[in-house]
Amino acid sequence: MFGRKRKLKKEFDEQLRSLMLETKEEWENAREIERYVNDYDQEIIAHRKIAESKHFYLFKEAKVRRLGRD
């Protein structure tokens, strides 16, 4: 029984890691776009803030799961 739980935890931890990498890349891309846009565009700023929020939400979840301490 415990072997199955460990396998599931490991599987979901890997999914969380890959999702964190994706959201970090999305956030960095949004920051670059915002940096190169000359006009003050609310939609671009909102996209960056959403991407940032997603990434930090996943970061907090990884901290709760103690993801880096396996």
In this prediction, residue 69 has a pLDDT band, given cuts at 50, 70 and 90, of low
Number of domains forming the structure of the chain: 1
The answer to whether residue 59 scores a pLDDT higher than 60 is yes
* Assigned domain for 33 exists: yes
* Assigned domain for 4 exists: no
Is the distance from CB of 67 to CB of 16 less than 8 angstroms?
yes
* Assigned domain for 69 exists: no
The answer to whether residue 48 scores a pLDDT higher than 90 is yes
Torsion of CA 29, 24, 55, 50, to 10 degrees: 10
Instruction: Check residue 8 and give its pLDDT.
Output: 83
In this prediction, residue 47 has a pLDDT band, given cuts at 50, 70 and 90, of very high
Range of the domain at 32: 15-64
